[in-house]
Amino acid sequence: MTRFGKFLDRGLKSLAAEAIAQALADAGLQPSQLQAAYMGNAAAGVMTGQVLVPGQVVLRGMGIGRIPVVNVENACATSATAFQQAVQMIALGAHDVVLVAGFEKLYSTDKQRTFSVFQGAVDVEAIDEVIASLAEGMARTGATADLAEAGRSRSLFMDVYARLARDYMRQTGVTQRDFAAVAAKNSFHGSLNPKAQFQDVLTIEQVLAAPLIVDPMTRPMCAPIGDGAAAMVLVSGKAAARLGLQEPVRVLSSVLASGWDHADGDGPRLAPTVAAEAYAAAGVGPADIDVVELHDAAAPAELMYYEHLGLAAPGEALTLLNSGATRLGGRVPVNPSGGLLRKGHPIGASGCAQLVELADQLRGRCGPRQVPGARTALAENGGGWIGEDAAAIVISVLQRP
């Protein structure tokens, strides 16, 4: 992967080519050996005007053509979806060597253009209902915020996460300081990652003292936008043997699902449902996971996902955090890359970057942020929001043989 950050002087082709070249070199493969490519990009149509064929444009710029190229767009789950689709095609026997890449540019001198990308990740024909839901949530929790600024001076999704955070606080007794502890933990992890967008270590007090974006979230509790790319090569088992690939990482499962309209008492939400399916398909359980990369687009989400992924029992997420289990050196480190909070969040690249981090962890390549003896890893990447749940989510389980 590239370093994530602000690269106003670089285009999509430059960023994607850097990551793809690294992936091919790491695998010891030539571009001519690729049989297909799944290319994830979510925002180029808005940010650069490159619509319809972003994957082909990137690859042709590297001299790669002829092979089938599938462009994937699925909100923040874009390149995780590209990964899941490539996995399925290999499992079905359609291909043996497949490139997966995610690439994005979100920084612009026109902030309204950037924020419009996130506003497009909800039902734009029901935007009044979305705002009404946010207003109702504020009234219910006694919060105050200028909703006219949602999608103007900040991402609309920070308001969505803030509403979920306030409800979670009421239900569990978790406090703003606890959310700050998540951000501080991930800042420590990010300080050890040379490709993270932000590498300074923050204390809980510094997180709390930062400017408030939307109650209860201060700036370090919100994932920054970013530019960047990540890529990987997937191969079938027989191709891995034939090519003599070193340090292979096995995909045990990769499950994609979309949200649905919930009725009262309609059972679990999207994330725990997909997690259960991913564990079942992989033949492992939460206790078998050694390291996790999850979608901490906002710090409160990490705590909620501890429970959704079965890392903590219902109501026990804060206990898990406070025990140090999810910090490097703990039982199941979460977001050793720094997570979206510190690594950055170039939408189309984020899911693939999670998987790159986990593959490196399973190969023992992560230096000071290495999880010792990591053998089984889980990635969770969600995106979009419709009604009362995410629009899409992908959960994948990887393992070192």
- Measured CA to CA, the distance from residue 368 to residue 372 in angstroms comes to 10
Q: Burial level of 84, CB count in 10 A (0-12/13-18/19+)?
A: buried
Contact 354, 396 (CB under 8 A): no
Contact 36, 137 (CB under 8 A): no
Please name the amino acid found at residue 84: Q
- Measured CA to CA, the distance from residue 232 to residue 24 in angstroms comes to 8
Does 366 participate in catalysis according to the annotation?
Answer: no
CA angle 229, 384, 55 (to 5 degrees): 35
Residue 269: helix, strand or coil by DSSP?
Answer: coil
**In what order do the strands lie in the sheet containing 376-386?**
250-258, 389-399, 376-386, 291-293
Angle between helices 347-362 and 78-91 (to 10 degrees): 60
Q: Burial level of 263, CB count in 10 A (0-12/13-18/19+)?
A: exposed
**C-alpha R_g of the chain:** 20
User: DSSP alpha helices (H): ranges in 124-264?
Assistant: 127-141, 156-172, 176-191, 204-209, 237-243
- HSE on the CB side for 5, CA within 13 Å? 12
**CA 171 to the chain's CA centroid:** 26
Active-site residue list: 76
